[in-house]
Amino acid sequence: MYISLHVFILVALFIFLYFIGFLNVVPHGNNLVQWDGGWYKNVHDNGYNYFPDKQSNSGFFPLFPYMWKFLGVGNAGIAIFNAIAFLIAFLLLAYFFDIKRRNIFLLLSVPSLFFCYIPYSESLFFLSSSLFLIGLHKSNKFLIIAGLFFASTCRAASMFFVPAIFMMEFLSLDFSKKGWR
């Protein structure tokens, strides 16, 4: 319920700001794929290419553009898919980590979350990282491995997971005499 209320407030705020003239552009298929969205769209349409003397799309990880291609949706469709993937991941985290209802609106109000509503890989990375965290929390090796695999095919930031896991395991060791035995 809080998620749907958040989405309603977000849409209502956008409509209000548009009608008072503060915003003058409505998101549509063409303006959703600017900046990195255009690179993901390029991988979606043409696959990977590398040009040594100019910019190339070879630095973008494959899960998001290939998921986009698999779904067969347009620019607005992938933005809707991203919003749904983000909200599912957030619901899973809220459920498994018992996030209090009063904190849900605060967490959903982080301004940088708008990246999860446009054609970028952030929502898939968030979903796969959420599966990884839930797997750690529930000691479910399948979720841990699946989350790590899908996160590593979404964003380069996943390379920080391995040292973080080693550090987490090291810090959770029992260094008492009883623990060493």
Q: Could you tell me the two tokens for 43? A: 């991988």
Count of residues in the chain: 181
What value, to the nearest 5°, has the Cα angle with vertex 49 and ends 46 and 55? 110
Q: Is the pLDDT of residue 155 over 70?
A: yes
Q: Average pLDDT in the 137-151 region?
A: 91
Q: Is the pLDDT of residue 45 over 90?
A: no
C-beta separation of 115 from 79 below 8 A: no
Per-residue pLDDT of 94-143, as tens digits, reads: 999 998 877 887 787 777 777 777 888 889 999 999 999 999 999 899 99
Q: Could you give the percent of the chain with pLDDT greater than 70?
A: 91
pLDDT at res. 70: 92
C-beta separation of 116 from 78 below 8 A: no
Nearest CA to 65 among 78, 55, 56, 83?
78
- The pTM score is 0.78
Q: Is the pLDDT of residue 181 over 70?
A: no
Give the pLDDT band (50/70/90) at residue 158: low
Owner of token pair 């607005």: 76
Q: Is the pLDDT of residue 177 over 70?
A: no
| DSSP-assigned states of every residue in the chain | -HHHHHHHHHHHHHHHHHHTTS------TTGGG-THHHHHHHHHHH-----TTS--STTS-SHHHHHHHHHT--HHHHHHHHHHHHHHHHHHHHHHTT--HHHHHHHHT-GGGGGGGSSSSHHHHHHHHHHHHHHHHHT-HHHHHHHHHHHHTT-GGGGGHHHHHHHHHHHTS--SHHHH-
Q: How far are the Cα atoms of 69, 99, 170 from residue 62, in angstroms, in the given order?
A: 11, 32, 32
Most confident of 68-72, 74-78, 154-158, 170-174: 68-72
Most confident of 60-74, 92-106, 129-143, 149-163: 129-143
Q: Is the pLDDT of residue 34 over 80?
A: no
Domain boundaries, the chain: 28-180
Q: Is the pLDDT of residue 7 over 60?
A: yes
- The average confidence (pLDDT) of the chain is 82
Q: Average pLDDT in the 7-32 region?
A: 77
